[in-house]
Chains A and B, each alone.
Chain A
Amino acid sequence: MSGALAGIRVLDLADQTGALAGKLLAGLGADVVLVEPPGGSPLRAIPPFWHGAPDPERSLFFWFYAAGKRGITLERDAPDGAQRLARLAEHADVLIETDAPGRLDVDALRAANPRLVVASITPFGRSGPYRDWKASDTVAQAMGGMLYVNGHPDGPPLRSLGLQAYHQASIFAAIGIVSALIARDTTGRGQLVDVSLQAAVAAALEHVPGFWHQAGLVHARQGTLHWTRYFRVGRCRDGWVMHCTVGDWTALVEWMKADGMGAAVDDRRFEDLTTRRDEAERLFDALDAWAARYTVAELVEGAQLRRIPYAAVRAPEALLRDPQLAARGFFVPIEHPDLGGEIPYPGAPFLLADALWRVARPPRIGEHDAELVG
């Protein structure tokens, strides 16, 4: 079995803002060639590092985003740099770039190779009044509306775990790239995919724009209480748990009654979802008082047996020991010969039954220079 995108050659010029796009395409089987400056990609300077020691060959940040890519070095600012890049682009299907608009001559590359699909990921897109403005992941999350609704009401807005502005822009770039490849089958021509970090964040919101459009509502952050008011974090004996009041309500009430703590919830009015929403605070307070007698594991197991969607509030390292992920092979052990061992890499975001998801060791600096001379 091979990857779905086997035979597609991708030139990856992206910094961290678009690094996930190439990683996704590599996972799907494309030959993704990361183009680094001679000293190595700037991502190699970003922590965390293997056992904490800074080393361009041991950045876990780089490894995460470069897994499955090949690597070549090319000095783009050298006298022959642009020419070498152009030659590589003539033999590529896709080029991913994250330069400020105008720096890379996209039109010339497309003219030289009309079948080329160019994905350009920029902070605000290649047009509009902010086209030359800069963004970090945090600034893009702020400008795209993600940040304002996260956090406690008496604290600051909170950014996400993980570079989710970059991740969403990269996912949309990958969507645009595969769409453009499909279109190329018909038209014979590639095209430019113009992705804005800000707009990608705005397209990864749920309630925020919709309720403004339909009702002029500005939703604010409200701690762990989900905007629907059907979820809130509670405390068990040994940790945090996510409560949910949209599962099998009758089963939850029966369970609490059996524990002698049903008085606060055993009310016919709560059979109506809107009542549970409107009186969420009171309801979750009652659930908290009840949950305090259980461990997280006991409560989640009991809830799932009753088909009530409860979950433990865990640290990301819990994923490494998760039996479900293990049974499905989510983590893929990758050999790092220079470390004398394997590291489990997080793997596929989805499984295609008839096409392989490929996870492979990230490249060393210039590892594939001899195979691919621009």
Chain B
Amino acid sequence: MTRPLDGIRVLDFTWVVAGPVTTRILADLGAEVIKIERPGTLDFGDRRGGLSGTLMRGKKSVMLDLNRPRAIEIARRLAAVSDVVIDNFSARVMTNLGLDYDALRALRPDVIVVRMTGFGLTGPDRDHVSYGPTLQALTGYTLLMAEPGGPPAGFGYSYSDLAGGNLGALAVLTALWHRRRTGRGQLVDLAQSEAVASLVGPVVLERAANGGTSASAGNASQEGPAAPHGVYPCAGADRWIAITVFTDEEWRRFGRCVGSVAWTADARFATREGRVRHAAALDALVAEWTRTRVAEELMGELQRAGVTAGRVADAEDLCARDPQLAARGHFVDVPTREGRTVRIDGPPFVLSETPARVSGPGPLLGEHTDEVLATILGLDEREIAALRAERVVG
């Protein structure tokens, strides 16, 4: 045995981001993920590497035109030999295709069916349509991620898709565990709105218990009082450093890094309570100090002194100038069949005995159609050619 999900087959109808995030983790863990794709499917440029490759790494691509009944029949035959069937369409799509849980269970009684919808399979809003940004708006992120008193900013991307996608992988693993114990498959109803709502955190409980209204707190600490805490400008264009000081001991270490200037000895800042009370004044002084410093150098200096700090990494910092992620092998160079090498993000956790790993690059559209039809369904060349001629497969 080399990986935890060796021998598990996943029939993957997901598209864009949230669903593919779930199934890429399953592929990293050793599952055979067969991605059903439609002609003219949306992707983000190079399918092998980069964003598409990172989303589709290690999966097989089978092109099926699900508008054709014979394609649905092929999907049903694949489902009958799959452990997990997953989609992230809105609620009624799989029912309309005749591929909902009851239909799939009739084909394979212990199948695990994961429906990653926007709002869930039940309830008055079950047919509402959504994308990541609209779910982030509904759950509080967009409004409260703002400068204090400022207009909403929110995430610049679909964090909800990553949250729902990563939690989806946990759901599949748990359902597989449950099946090993009970012999039973089941339906997993993952509402992406609920997945991302479950991560908002204690503020929801605070409103439930204490009432009141929430306000944006900018970059203030959300894990107990801390000052200085936040993001401070550094030398250069749009360069910043994040600094967190909780305790008085950390404040003294911070002061030693700043050197002999009056404000680090200011009595207002001697205690955590004082620093938090005068945080605005303190932030201005810290910013004045950081403004002329190089973010990378300052980060190293502060960390070596025991102060929690890190540069605000942009894409290049993260991917090309981070010795830690490089040492951990977070980004991997993956060979393709055509003799190229593409760079892809790998799994962010290490299992010491059965490590997850990138199984391969993103597949080309329909790259594995013939292989899957031949090896899994036992179709011969003539049958596959006929299906292709009729545009059932591609």
Selected contact of A212 from candidates B29, B143, B233, B320, CB within 8 Å: B320
Task: Please tell me if the beta carbons of B145 and A160 are within 8 angstroms of each other in the complex.
Answer: yes
Task: Please tell me if the beta carbons of B134 and A212 are within 8 angstroms of each other in the complex.
Answer: no
Chain A residues in 8 Å Cβ range of B5 = 179, 182
| Count, A-B residue pairs, CB within 8 A | 527
Residues facing A in B167-200 (CB within 8 A) are 167-171, 173-178, 180, 182, 184-191, 193-195, 197-200
Q: Please, how many angstroms separate the alpha-carbon atoms of A213 and B340 in the complex?
A: 14
Selected contact of B134 from candidates A16, A142, A242, CB within 8 Å: A242
Selected contact of B188 from candidates A219, A347, A352, CB within 8 Å: A352
Q: In the complex, what residue of chain A is closest to B48 when comparing beta carbons?
A: A214
Chain B residues in 8 Å Cβ range of A128 = 323-324, 327-328
Selected contact of B231 from candidates A156, A230, A324, A348, CB within 8 Å: A156
B149 CB → nearest A CB, Å: 12
Q: Please, how many angstroms separate the alpha-carbon atoms of A161 and B199 in the complex?
A: 9
Selected contact of A138 from candidates B171, B198, B242, B314, CB within 8 Å: B242
Residues facing A in B30-82 (CB within 8 A) are 44-46, 49-55
Task: Please tell me if the beta carbons of A133 and B303 are within 8 angstroms of each other in the complex.
Answer: yes
Contact flags (1/0) for A64-79 with B, using CB distance below 8 Å?
1100000000000000
**Residue count of chain B within 8 Å CB distance of chain A:** 154
At the interface, yes or no: B154 with Cβ under 8 Å from chain A?
yes
Task: Please tell me if the beta carbons of A353 and B129 are within 8 angstroms of each other in the complex.
Answer: no
The residue among B17, B130, B316, B356 with the most chain A CB atoms within 10 A of its own CB is B130
Residues facing A in B132-187 (CB within 8 A) are 133-135, 137-147, 150-159, 161-163, 166-171, 173-178, 180, 182, 184-187
Task: Please tell me if the beta carbons of A157 and B140 are within 8 angstroms of each other in the complex.
Answer: no
Task: Please tell me if the beta carbons of B242 and A147 are within 8 angstroms of each other in the complex.
Answer: yes
Chain B residues in 8 Å Cβ range of A372 = none
Selected contact of A162 from candidates B193, B201, B345, CB within 8 Å: B201
Q: By DSSP majority rule, is chain A's interface helix, strand, loop, or mixed?
A: mixed
Chain A residues in 8 Å Cβ range of B3 = 183
Contact flags (1/0) for A216-230 with B, using CB distance below 8 Å?
111111111011001
At the interface, yes or no: A167 with Cβ under 8 Å from chain B?
yes
Interface magnitude class on chain A: 35 or more
Q: Please, how many angstroms separate the alpha-carbon atoms of A220 and B238 in the complex?
A: 9
Contact A215 B209, CB 8 Å, known A209-B319, A209-B345? no
Contact A224 B154, CB 8 Å, known A143-B313, A171-B166, A311-B135? yes
Chain A residues in 8 Å Cβ range of B168 = 350
At the interface, yes or no: B260 with Cβ under 8 Å from chain A?
no
Chain B residues in 8 Å Cβ range of A355 = 174-175, 178, 186
Task: Please tell me if the beta carbons of A139 and B244 are within 8 angstroms of each other in the complex.
Answer: yes
Q: In the complex, what residue of chain A is closest to B202 when comparing beta carbons?
A: A64
B263-271, B304-312, B368-376, B384-392 - interface stretch: B304-312
Q: In the complex, what residue of chain B is closest to A160 when comparing beta carbons?
A: B145
Task: Please tell me if the beta carbons of B166 and A344 are within 8 angstroms of each other in the complex.
Answer: no
B103 CB → nearest A CB, Å: 15
Task: Please tell me if the beta carbons of A316 and B314 are within 8 angstroms of each other in the complex.
Answer: no
Q: In the complex, what residue of chain A is closest to B185 when comparing beta carbons?
A: A354
The residue among B156, B159, B206, B316 with the most chain A CB atoms within 10 A of its own CB is B156
Task: Please tell me if the beta carbons of B122 and A327 are within 8 angstroms of each other in the complex.
Answer: yes
Contact A204 B166, CB 8 Å, known A149-B156, A160-B145? yes
Q: Please, how many angstroms separate the alpha-carbon atoms of A182 and B188 in the complex?
A: 19
At the interface, yes or no: B318 with Cβ under 8 Å from chain A?
yes
B13 CB → nearest A CB, Å: 17
Task: Please tell me if the beta carbons of A162 and B315 are within 8 angstroms of each other in the complex.
Answer: no
Q: Please, how many angstroms separate the alpha-carbon atoms of A355 and B178 in the complex?
A: 8
Task: Please tell me if the beta carbons of B316 and A218 are within 8 angstroms of each other in the complex.
Answer: yes
A-B pairs, 4 with minimum CB distance: A214-B50, A210-B51, A316-B140, A311-B134
| 24 A-B pairs in the complex with CB atoms less than 8 angstroms apart | A128-B327, A138-B230, A148-B240, A149-B157, A150-B155, A151-B147, A179-B351, A187-B1, A191-B352, A205-B162, A210-B51, A213-B342, A213-B344, A218-B314, A224-B142, A224-B153, A309-B129, A310-B134, A316-B207, A324-B125, A327-B124, A345-B208, A352-B171, A355-B178
Extra contacts, 7 of them, besides A130-B303, A192-B353, A202-B345 (Cβ < 8 A), are A60-B206, A172-B166, A178-B174, A179-B173, A182-B176, A213-B343, A309-B131
